[in-house]
Chain A
Amino acid sequence: MCRIGAIKSLNYVHPSMALQLMQSQQKGHDNSGFAMVMQDLGGIFEPYKTLPTLSMACTAEGIKMAEDILHEIGFYRVMQWSPEVNDKPGLDINAMPHYVFETFNYPRSYKKSTQKEKEELLLDTRLRLRKALEKDQEGFVYSFWPDLLTLKEIGDPRDIGTYFNLWQANTTFTAKVITAQCRQNTNYDIVRYAAHPFHLQGYTALANGENTFYLKNKEFQQQLHRGYIGFESDSQCFLYTLHYVHRELGWPLSYYKHVVTPLPFDEIDARQERKQLLAIRQSLAHLEINGPNTIIGMLPDNTLFTCCDAKKLRPVVVGYDDETVVISSEVCGINEVLPDRNWENDIYPNEREIVVINDELEVQRWKQ
């Protein structure tokens, strides 16, 4: 079984908090990996909020290939950081030789470009890097986006934490939003790209579950957008649908739930907005999900949310205090990182709501 978690705080937090959140749920996952996406970065990345950071695990040749491509396009590096690794014997980790977090400035030719043009460039660049490095397994390009970085590795999460020195909190490597997951994909091949969270143009999603409409989703999404690739995991479909609905179609977030788990027809009929809801259900029938699922999503504006499948077949709980909100598959994770919160305020979202945490840390429950 998979376990997922997310932390959103008014203060910068260190990934050790995410490790603690996930470690307490250890019985629920199989210690086969650790992956996280950090957004709204602090520490050494804080001065570069508008510039894209490349997150990559690769060989030495991979670094060279990637830098050549980036230089060819015109990106120039302004900052580079690699975690100091602790490669002590006996660690259960299937590590890549290099972990690269590099921040770049945009090509000079993009000086007058719009934000959207820049965002398309970042996506195209990431796709090109991924393709180039994929060929000879020279590396994995997880994200290339401003104020966001991704780390994914195969192995025991405890040992991965030890390897990257993540257990010891510090102020250099922090973020205000961290999403994390501790398990490699079991349905398909174990590859790093298959580990949640997934990221695309500022949108991040991770899920606990099984999307039984994977094939339907995948066949539809493949034609929708050039960025919808990979499909190493059935949960990538949740991200692509989020990206499509919110960014490509420009619909409010509340409609995401109507797309992935539409209301039954008789309930739609009883709604005032039935025309819209029916139109959505019709036109996006192939993006509906089935099976047991809990989804955590993160938007470019740092909004964090969670929702479940239509039968509420997977757990999730939201706990919070004045400064931090935590979403977790199991409440024990929240007890670990927010032991002093008022647990009576914990939210156990039902099958027909989205719990949304905005950047002011306001927790809202939206009924579908």
Chain B
Amino acid sequence: METMKVNHLTANDLPWKIRYDAGRCTLCGSCVATCSFRAIRPKVERRRMVFSEGDLPEPKARFSAVPVIRQGTSIRDYCRGCAMCEKVCPNDAIRPERNIDTRHPIVTRCLGGDSIKRGGRKNLEGAVRTLDRLRVGRISQMTDPSLDAQRHSFDLLAPFGRILPPGRLPFIAGTDQGMNLGELTPPVNWVYPVIIGDMSIGALSWRMWEAVAMATAYLNEECGLPVRMCSGEGGVPRRLLRSKYLKYMILQIASGHFGWNRIATSMPDMIEDPAGILIKIGQGAKPGDGGLLQAGKVAEHIQAIRGVPKTDLLSPPNHQGLYSIEESVQKMFLSLNAAFKFRVPVAIKVAASATSVSVFNNLVRDPYNIVGGFFLDGIDGGTGAAHEVSLDHTGHPIVSKLRDCYLAAVTQGRQGQIPLWAAGGLGKTGDLAADAFKMICLGANGVFTGKLILQMAGCVGNDMGRCNACNTGLCPAGITTQEPQLVRRLDPDRVAQNIVNYYLAMDQELKKLMAPIGNSTLPVGRADALVSTDRAVAERLKIQHVC
């Protein structure tokens, strides 16, 4: 007799199990109303109670119908472990619990016949992170004094733009022992060494994107930190394009060119130049793949900004018509430089790869001096949507690749000419100052960060498979969704405040790292300040091994 069907999906096949205590539940319904994934729903259970009332056992049965909360078992609507139910439950009656026996990766593919897509970042955790194997070990003692992080002044700025070698500076002798610049030099903006990474309107809710923009403006206008934010590939609201705050924005162009129609048509109305242009060739989280915005998130306002119908928006893996590094330099860079009359630096963002040094060498040797930055994104970078197989299995760690690029520049005496910016899992442990500082010592001019910004806003996703549902448009925190009722969960003022406060804390922490090594300007390439107890790491990065 058939008592069960093996392939029926149960909660035990899913990544998270709901632990529910009917005895504590008041049936208020908050959890069900909160769950954006529709992973739990109310249900009536039939209960049988056997009892005996007399002196002797005379079992009787009583049946009752009891309302309860029950976990769904669909591969479409399943629990992501976001724990919003636990957050809203007044009685601690419900919570998700990680299911180590999950069959989700298998059953999803079997039932769907399609690749798994999700947001977040690489979820395959291996050993301790390389950055955590590094310590700032060269401390100023006696012969050179440590500085005072509170009292001394520090210059925490990094270049965005092409820097000419000293011999090519067009200096002409002036009067009274002075020199004048004879001709136009490539534009360079000196900005805070932690750029808010490229997350588009579309990937982010309008409230979240606006909150980041507000935080950026506040950091600049009120806190004196020249932080720049990259728009991501998804356009910019016209109101911002025409405002004075445009100067804090780095506009991104990627292979889908989404949003550029608006940007181009707004150019005559711009009262400020943008801080820079970032041409996205690749992304660390899904290298070799273009951007992906699933139709569920293409709300009306996204359609308007991007100029598209409601459909899956897939940016091609390559820029159309771009088949070589030389062409990218000659065509894209030149046209974008020309668009802003050579006043705005143009940089490139690529996914870290075994070939990154070749790409970098090609750019740094370009005779036109128009590549204004090399943004290198490692495998631990986050994304709003990608195929899981790309997220987990493609890409290159950022630390050694950044170091390789810097040392390639050193070998040619070209360090600093194309500023190096690194990202990909920086701040993963919550401590971005330490990660940024170590990357700078290894040769980065600065870093950029995206995922951590979301976590500042309240994102509960993590690298052990929690939530990671940014692609669904059902973000329970209102961060990566366009559903109005979910977006309203997010208080943009509060998010902006969190971001501002995090930057202020990080600014102090960067100084607390610079002071003990006796540096008042960023120690770009000062690998002598780092030590590692791991011999392999030390040898690979060419730093001191200690034990």
Contact = CB atoms under 8 A, between A and B. Distances in A.
A133 interface: no
A212 B517 contact: yes
B188 A187 contact: no
B526 A216 contact: yes
A212 B416 contact: no
A40 interface: no
A286 interface: yes
A282 B521 contact: no
Given A276-B179, A291-B144, A283 B165 contact: yes
Contacts of B415: 219-220, 286
Interface in B523-537: 523-528
A90 interface: no
Given A186-B143, A285-B416, A291-B140, A216 B177 contact: no
B265 to A, nearest CB: 32
A279 B169 contact: yes
B145 A252 contact: no
A215 B525 contact: yes
Contacts of B178: 252, 273, 276
Interface in B511-547: 517-521, 523-528
Given A216-B524, A219-B525, A283 B147 contact: no
B26 to A, nearest CB: 59
A249 B178 CA distance: 14
Contact of A288 (B166, B169, B412, B521): B521
Interface string A275-306: 11011101111101011100000000000000
Contact of B525 (A186, A187, A286): A286
A210 B526 contact: no
A233 to B, nearest CB: 13
Contacts of B166: 244, 249, 280, 283-284
Contacts of A219: 410, 415, 525
Contacts of B517: 212
A264 interface: yes
Contacts of B155: 264-265
B413 A285 contact: no
A110 interface: no
Q: Interface size for chain A: under 10, 10 to 19, 20 to 34, or 35 or more residues?
A: 35 or more
A215 B527 contact: yes
B3 interface: no
A313 B145 contact: yes
Given A220-B413, A276-B181, A291-B144, A213 B519 contact: yes
A61 B244 CA distance: 74
A343 interface: no
Contacts of B164: 279, 282-283
B266 to A, nearest CB: 28
B180 A276 contact: yes
Contacts of A276: 171, 178-181
A350 interface: no
A187 B190 contact: no
B167 A249 contact: yes
A125 B112 CA distance: 77
Interface residues of B, number: 42
B179 A290 contact: no
Interface string A168-203: 000000000000000000110000000000000000
Q: Which of B155, B165, B167, B188 has the most CB of A within 10 A?
A: B155
Contacts of A290: 518-521, 523
B140 A311 contact: no
Contacts of A214: 528
A99 to B, nearest CB: 30
Given A224-B413, A286-B415, A212 B140 contact: yes
A1 B517 CA distance: 19
A212 B518 contact: yes
Interface string B406-445: 0000111101100000000000000000000000000000
A222 B140 CA distance: 25
B5 interface: no
Given A212-B519, A291-B144, A282 B528 contact: no
A241 B521 CA distance: 18
Interface string B163-185: 11111010100000111110001
A255 B179 contact: yes
A86 to B, nearest CB: 34
A221 B524 CA distance: 15
B157 interface: yes
Contacts of A264: 153, 155
A313 B151 CA distance: 14
Nearest to B412: A223
B159 interface: yes
Interface in B1-60: none
Contacts of A216: 523-526
A251 interface: yes
Contacts of B181: 275-276, 279
Contacts of A265: 155, 157, 190
Contacts of B62: none
Across the A-B interface, give the 6 residue pairs with the lowest CB-CB distance, nearest first: A223-B413, A210-B144, A252-B177, A291-B144, A283-B166, A215-B528
Interface of A: 1, 186-187, 209-210, 212-216, 219-220, 222-224, 244, 248-249, 251-252, 254-255, 264-265, 273, 275-276, 278-280, 282-286, 288, 290-292, 310-311, 313
Given A276-B178, A283-B165, 14 more contacts: A186-B143, A212-B523, A214-B528, A223-B411, A252-B178, A264-B153, A279-B185, A283-B163, A283-B416, A285-B416, A285-B524, A288-B521, A292-B145, A311-B520
17 contacts: A212-B519, A212-B526, A216-B523, A219-B525, A223-B412, A244-B166, A252-B179, A264-B155, A265-B190, A275-B181, A276-B180, A282-B163, A286-B416, A290-B519, A291-B518, A292-B518, A313-B144
